[in-house]
Amino acid sequence: MACPLNILAGVDFILKEDGSPGGALLTTSKSISINGESVDVTDGSSNGWRVLAPGAGIRSASISVSGVFRGTPQEESLQMHALDNSCATYDLYDSDGNHHNGPFLVTSYEKTGDANGAILWSATLESAGEITVTNVGSP
């Protein structure tokens, strides 16, 4: 049985901070959520149907990442942005060749560990300005 051609590798989902030493974050799990808030402009002329105003709501993007803690400069930078409540510009590349770029605030950073396991980390980044998306081909 042949593999479906539209299945993309999660390993090609790359997150890196602009100007961060050493390259991309070493992650085991990554996701991005792009959100658009709707603005309801329904009135009596809508015949009972909801009407939404296109382009009127607030747009945002959230990135969730996690990995095995290795003490890399990228992990330390992510943790410092969380502690300082500061923004940085991040680049996110996905398997489709899309490049997302813009300012993000690290809203959470967590390290966990069991007595007989590796130390794990996770973080959430929220967009803090305009995010641009361009197609640059496969990473």
Residue 120's CATH number: 2.30.110
Checking if the pLDDT of 66 tops 70, the result is yes
* Position 106 in a domain: yes
Q: Look at residue 138 in the predicted model and tell me its pLDDT.
A: 56
Using DSSP's 3-state secondary structure scheme, residue 45 falls into: helix
Section 76-98 average pLDDT: 90
pLDDT of residue 3: 47
Cα–Cα nearest to 88, from 1, 31, 8, 16 = 16
pTM of the predicted protein model: 0.78
Q: What would the mean pLDDT of 33-48 be, rounded to a whole number?
A: 91
The answer, yes or no, to whether residue 4 has pLDDT greater than 70, is: no
Give how many domains the chain has, as a whole number.
1
Residue 82 near residue 106 (C-beta atoms within 8 A): yes
Report the pLDDT averaged over residues 121-136.
Answer: 92
Choose between 50 and 8: higher pLDDT.
50
Average pLDDT in the 80-101 region?
Answer: 90
The answer as to whether 3 is a domain residue is no
Higher pLDDT, 20 or 17: 17
Give Cα 105 to chain centroid, integer Å.
11
Cα gap 2→10, rounded to integer Å: 19
Please tell me the predicted confidence (pLDDT) of residue 12: 57
- pLDDT reading at 7 higher than 80: no
Both tokens of 3, joined, read 């593999």
Name the 3-class secondary structure at 13. Answer: coil
Q: Domain span at residue 25?
A: 10-135
2 in a domain, yes or no? Answer: no
Residue 130 lies in a domain: yes
Question: Which pLDDT belongs to residue 28?
Answer: 79
